[in-house]
């Protein structure tokens, strides 16, 4: 039986909230007519969550549990879930109970309208104002400006996406919050919808202000990927040309001062500056060449391409079929 929807929920020390969250998801999905599966990722829990998930999986065969050897973080848990999922549509959900599973049918309906990815907006967020809401609002504003992607809430885990979008994602670091931006970069049709956000009933948040630094560093990675990933020489080559031009100008000025004013070359700062800038420019050109080589190896590995085809129209008749990028009889 083909699975229609895969729900992925990372769990880390959620022994109190897990039973209610899982039961809510089951109740919501049982009201839908299509087959589904629930993938639970135990992110190295130490409070009994692992045993609880195993017991629930024994009671319901639609539950799939994967246990990490240690705590690797939410991004790694979501990536593992994406690799285990078999549904044609995929839903991501937090395990702390703050995301409302009742929003899942609404988000799936947006996929049915032709969108590739639907991401939630916690418009009425039920979190601490100073330590959660204010930093999140500042981060979302900064990320939106840097990436030129209009969005209100990148931190909401609740998302729904088509299978082909999930297959193109490679998550690491804190990249799970950049999923809408990465999908949009690949040409996906994205839409942000208002979702319910509930107060946390059990335990405490696993995230604090220290996460902000990691998010900002990953923002630099995303900005580089959006603008220069497919051709890094455009960035490093330009920087190399700037340093080369300034270096040549400094060396020329040092030579002119020697020829016309008999200045001492050994004590001329322009000579040293010109030499340093020339060496730095060569380093930028070298980095660009290495980046170009790595980019080509990345796209060749696993048949990746620097583009994404939404659909192929072919009227060649039943004897021919389009497979990958080739037409075969």
130 and 274 belong to one structural domain: no
Average pLDDT of the residues in 217-246? 90
**Is 300 inside any structural domain?**
no
Judge whether 170 and 76 are in contact, CB under 8 Å: no
**Is 88 inside any structural domain?**
yes
Average pLDDT of the residues in 166-178? 86
Confidence of residue 315 (pLDDT cuts 50, 70, 90): low
Is the pLDDT confidence value at 317 over 50?
Answer: no
119 and 179 belong to one structural domain: yes
131 and 184 belong to one structural domain: yes
Domain that holds residue 250: 233-290
Those residues whose C-beta lies under 8 Å from the C-beta of residue 15, and which sit 6 or more positions away, are: 45, 47, 48, 49, 52
pLDDT score at 325: 40
pLDDT score at 323: 41
Domain boundary among 228, 250, 282: 228
Is the pLDDT confidence value at 316 over 60?
Answer: no
Is the pLDDT confidence value at 242 over 70?
Answer: yes
* Proportion of the chain above pLDDT 90, given as a percent: 54
72 and 122 belong to one structural domain: yes
Number of domains in the chain: 2
156 and 244 belong to one structural domain: no
The more confident residue out of 67 and 150 is 67
pLDDT score at 189: 95
Confidence of residue 208 (pLDDT cuts 50, 70, 90): low
Task: Give the separation between CA 165 and CA 159, rounded to whole angstroms.
Answer: 12
CATH number, domain containing residue 155: 3.90.550.10
Domain boundary among 228, 263, 278: 228
Average pLDDT of the residues in 213-234? 85
Is the pLDDT confidence value at 191 over 90?
Answer: yes
Nearest Cα to Cα of residue 9 among 84, 69, 70: 84
pLDDT score at 52: 95
Is the pLDDT confidence value at 106 over 50?
Answer: yes
Is the pLDDT confidence value at 107 over 90?
Answer: yes
SS3 state of residue 66: strand
**Is 321 inside any structural domain?**
no
**Is 328 inside any structural domain?**
no
**Is 159 inside any structural domain?**
yes
238 and 206 belong to one structural domain: no
The more confident residue out of 261 and 127 is 261
pLDDT score at 215: 78
pLDDT score at 188: 94
pLDDT score at 171: 86
Number of residues that make up the chain? 329
pLDDT score at 22: 96
**Is 296 inside any structural domain?**
no
The more confident residue out of 328 and 88 is 88
**Is 301 inside any structural domain?**
no
Domain boundary among 177, 201, 228: 228
Is the pLDDT confidence value at 328 over 50?
Answer: no
| CB-based burial, 75-110: b 16+ in 10 Å, e otherwise | bbbbbbbbeebebbbbbbbbbbbbbbbebbebbbeb
Q: Where are the beta strands (DSSP E) in the chain?
A: 5-11, 36-42, 63-67, 89-92, 117-121, 159-162, 190-194, 321-323, 326-328
157 and 274 belong to one structural domain: no
Angle of helix 104-112 relative to helix 18-30, nearest 10 degrees?
40
Is the pLDDT confidence value at 318 over 70?
Answer: no
pLDDT score at 302: 62
Cα separations in angstroms, 52 against 15, 30, 202, 323, 328: 7, 21, 16, 44, 50
Nearest Cα to Cα of residue 141 among 152, 132, 126, 128: 152
Tokens matching residue 122 = 């916690």
Average pLDDT of the residues in 138-143? 84
The terminus-to-terminus CA distance of the chain in angstroms comes to: 29
What mean pLDDT value characterizes the chain?
Answer: 86
53 and 81 belong to one structural domain: yes
Average pLDDT of the residues in 161-168? 94
Average pLDDT of the residues in 127-146? 78
113 and 70 belong to one structural domain: yes
224 and 253 belong to one structural domain: no
**Is 190 inside any structural domain?**
yes
245 and 214 belong to one structural domain: no
pLDDT score at 218: 83
- Is the backbone of residue 262 left (phi > 0), alpha (psi -120 to 50) or beta? left
pLDDT score at 319: 43
84 and 222 belong to one structural domain: yes
Tokens matching residue 37 = 């599966």
């Amino acid at each position: 039986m083909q699975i229609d929807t895969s729900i992925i929920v990372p769990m880390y020390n959620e022994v109190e909230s897990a039973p209610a969250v899982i039961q809510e998801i089951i109740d919501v999905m049982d009201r839908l007519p299509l087959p589904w599966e629930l993938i639970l990722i135990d992110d190295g829990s130490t409070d009994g969550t692992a045993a609880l998930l195993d017991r629930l999986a024994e009671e319901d065969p639609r539950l799939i549990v994967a246990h990490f050897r240690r705590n690797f973080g939410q991004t790694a848990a979501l990536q593992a879930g994406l690799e285990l999922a078999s549904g044609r549509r995929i839903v991501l959900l937090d395990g702390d109970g703050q995301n409302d599973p009742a929003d899942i049918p609404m988000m799936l309906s947006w996929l049915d309208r032709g969108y590739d990815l639907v991401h939630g907006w916690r418009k009425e967020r039920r979190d601490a104002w100073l330590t959660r809401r204010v930093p999140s609002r500042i981060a979302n504003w900064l990320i939106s400006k840097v990436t030129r992607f209009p969005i209100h809430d990148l931190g909401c885990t609740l998302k729904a996406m088509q299978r082909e979008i999930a297959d193109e994602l490679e998550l690491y670091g804190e990249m799970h919050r950049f999923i809408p931006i990465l999908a949009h970069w690949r040409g996906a049709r994205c839409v942000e919808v208002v979702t319910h956000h509930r107060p946390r009933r059990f335990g405490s948040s696993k995230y604090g202000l220290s996460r902000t630094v990691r998010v900002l560093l990953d923002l630099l990675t995303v900005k580089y990927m959006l603008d220069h990933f497919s051709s890094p020489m455009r960035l490093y080559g330009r920087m190399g040309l700037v340093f080369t031009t300034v270096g040549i100008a400094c060396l020329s000025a040092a030579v002119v001062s020697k020829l016309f004013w008999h200045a001492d070359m050994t004590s001329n700062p322009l000579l040293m500056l010109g030499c340093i800038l020339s060496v730095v420019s060569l380093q930028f050109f070298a980095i660009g060449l290495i980046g170009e080589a790595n980019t080509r190896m990345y796209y060749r590995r696993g048949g990746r391409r620097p583009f994404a085809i939404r659909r192929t129209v072919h009227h060649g008749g039943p004897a021919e079929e389009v497979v990958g990028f080739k037409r075969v009889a």
